[in-house]
Amino acid sequence: MTRSRTGSITLGLTGFVAIALAAAAAHAADTQPPAIQAPAKPKIELSSELWNFGEIWFGEKLEQKVTIKNTGNAELRIESVRASCGCTASKAEKNVLAPGEETTASVSFDSHKRQGQVSTQVTFVSNDPDRKQVVYYLKGFVKRVLNYEPAGGVVIHSTDRTAAKSGTGVITATTAEPIRLEIVRVDAPKFDVTLKEIVAGQKYEVTAVVKPPLETGRTVGNVVLKTGNEREPELNLPIVATVYDKVELSPAAIFLEPTMTPDRTERTVSIHYRGENPEFAVLNVDVPSDDYTANFGKVRPAGPEWQRLGDSAPKMMVDIKFSLPPGKSLPPQGVTVMVQTNEPGFEQVPLLITPDGTAFNAALRKTQR
């Protein structure tokens, strides 16, 4: 900057440039659009996502409180609390939480009908867009005075509805204290049950014979034994006989829960073949509309993992891959897909696709007592 002879101040070129740049920057700041704010959303947070309860004795019941907090900046809605087999969960004390608010839910575990290593879970479903489902895991070990094998009780498999067939279970003491087993009651009219001591006070064998005629599906029963032990005075031993058809679907139905399957989904169903036709084949899968597609692969031999079923193991298998519409689009009664095969008597095998959990369970497990 220089001063003229008349006393006025004169700016040099550099000064003019600096002033112009400052003015341009101020104008740009005034005209720049405001920053876009991220949309508000809820966020679910549990006080813990794992409950390791260690070792407990069979028959004990445990309970734990879980805190649910909304750490987001929008209203959190707890839509459901679902427990898997072996534990129960009460509803949350509050279903709607403002930002920063919290509530609790009670999770309990009942060790009846469980033994050995336990892994189960409770699922919290909310409107948190980033974590729609949060899983709370339960782990531990259930000790018993006695164990039985197989874990399902006395299990019988058959493909013949007209023949008697037997199965065996073994009951073993886990401590030096002897057990004295005695049959108290047999709640299984389709079975003849006998008990045999193998090692005095330590090991017993239970044999069940299922009496024909049988129906396809599962026939279940229960035998009650007195143990002579104070901690576990009684043992309820399941007895299950499963009779298979020559052609069966696994699973026997598909469940599309409306809120949990809001979009199209892919599912696979396997056909298990137990017949004697080496040329067995799937001919077609008849779907109800263009919203459903089904593609089936080639017939393949059943793997060695099925040999646990003995002579009831499937001999061949075929996979069918489905592309299905959202669960909410299904009618309440569901739809039926027909699988067509070349096996006499099984030319049309129905597969139910349903949004109804009760109908799904009924199709999945045909049970008689």
3-state per-residue secondary structure call for 58-82: CCCEEEEEEEEEECCCCCEEEEEEE
pLDDT digits (tens, 9 = 90+) for 130-154: 999 999 999 999 999 998 999 889 9
pLDDT digits (tens, 9 = 90+) for 254-291: 999 998 888 999 999 999 999 999 999 999 999 999 99
Q: Domains, the chain, ranges and CATH?
A: 44-143 (2.60.40.10), 146-243 (2.60.40.2310), 247-364 (2.60.40.10)
Rounded to 10 degrees, the C-alpha dihedral 209/214/216/221 comes to -50
Sheet holding 282-286, edge to edge: 253-255, 348-354, 335-341, 282-286
- Strands 154-158, 217-226: pairing is unpaired
Determine the pLDDT at residue 214: 85
Helix (H) / strand (E) element for 30: namely helix 13-31
Type of residue numbered 218: R
Gap between the Cα atoms of 73 and 360, Å rounded = 39
Determine the pLDDT at residue 12: 56
Determine the pLDDT at residue 91: 80
Gap between the Cα atoms of 50 and 55, Å rounded = 15
Determine the pLDDT at residue 87: 73
As a 3-state breakdown, the chain gives helix, strand, coil percent values, each rounded to 5, of 10, 50, 40
Helix (H) / strand (E) element for 167: namely strand 165-173
The number of beta carbons lying within 10 Å of the beta carbon of residue 56 is 17
Gap between the Cα atoms of 171 and 169, Å rounded = 7
Determine the pLDDT at residue 88: 78
Determine the pLDDT at residue 29: 55
Q: Which residues of the chain have pLDDT under 50?
A: 1-11, 367-369
Region at 63 (left for phi over 0; alpha for psi -120 to 50; beta for the rest)? beta
Q: In the numeric block, which tokens belong to residue 211?
A: 């009496």
Determine the pLDDT at residue 38: 76
Q: In the numeric block, which tokens belong to residue 55?
A: 């070792």
Determine the pLDDT at residue 32: 60
Q: In the numeric block, which tokens belong to residue 56?
A: 């407990």
Q: Give residues with Cβ within 8 angstroms of 17, minimum separation 6.
A: none
Determine the pLDDT at residue 30: 58
Q: In the numeric block, which tokens belong to residue 115?
A: 């033994």
pLDDT digits (tens, 9 = 90+) for 102-121: 999 999 999 887 888 999 99
Q: Give residues with Cβ within 8 angstroms of 70, minimum separation 6.
A: 42, 43, 44, 45, 76, 97, 98, 99, 100, 101, 102
Determine the pLDDT at residue 5: 43
